[in-house]
Amino acid sequence: MTAALARFSLGRVILHLLAMLGDDAFRFHSAAIVRELSWAAGVTALTERTRARLLEMLTRYLAQPSRHTSPPRITDLQARSAVLLPGDVLLTEGNTRMAALVKRVTGSPWSHVSMYVGPLEAGPDPRCVVEADIATGVRAVPLSELEGLRVRVLRPTGLHDHDRRRVADWVVSRIGDEYDVAHAWTLARRFMGLTSASRLPPHPQTTAQGAARFVCSTLVAQAFWLIGYQIVAPQIGGCWTQMADYRHLVPRDFENASVFEVVSLTPLA
């Protein structure tokens, strides 16, 4: 039994702990345990680095354009920017591998949701849209970033300009935060029937203020939730049981929520 334990690092740690109970060589055994644990820590660190590297490779892969993309539906969105207001929600179909995956899993033409916050700088094409991007996290982009994509603009109903500005300012304050890959995976597993609502973290009441990682839908939905504007989408296909929780929302749910109205983007004359 002793020989078998001695073959493994954890086993040697156990043997040293047992020996410490029966003799006075405390320093000897302590030093030996530290050596064993240092080796184990090295393996753990290597595993974490490998995991991080694989995750980085996956996000880069998913962020690449898809081979099969839809033809452009709306162009020159910049010329229509006069109709946009801070707090408007932008649904896009996307043209990346991640977008194709989201559309397939959720059964919707919409793969991404972002928010128009108004110009953040001077210039002909200023950054004015904030989104949670899988490769770069929460960032601001110009309207030209959406050129050639199918876009639907949703406007929250019943909000005063002050509340719109609060929502937009909060989203802007999250620029630089990380993308929540783990939550994206949880949502995908739920849609595929591989997990349940109970696997999500605690209710947003306990986590919203301190959240620092987002997927596109939680970034936008949480901004509204923090001012008491609750987005509740109708149940579709029996998938959800707690629709009042903004963490469950995906891009298609914004289109189906009754608190938004569609803003017409008519072709230019």
pLDDT digits (tens, 9 = 90+) for 207-251: 445 577 899 999 999 999 999 998 876 554 444 434 457 788 899
pLDDT at 29 over 60: no
Is the C-alpha dihedral spanning 125, 127, 130, 132 positive or negative? positive
pTM across the whole model: 0.71
State the CB neighbour count (10 A cutoff) for residue 80: 19
Mean pLDDT of the chain: 75
Taking alpha carbons only, the member of 137, 159, 133, 141 closest to residue 77 is: 141
Quick one: tokens of 112? 């991404």
In this prediction, residue 137 carries a pLDDT of: 92
Residues in the chain: 269
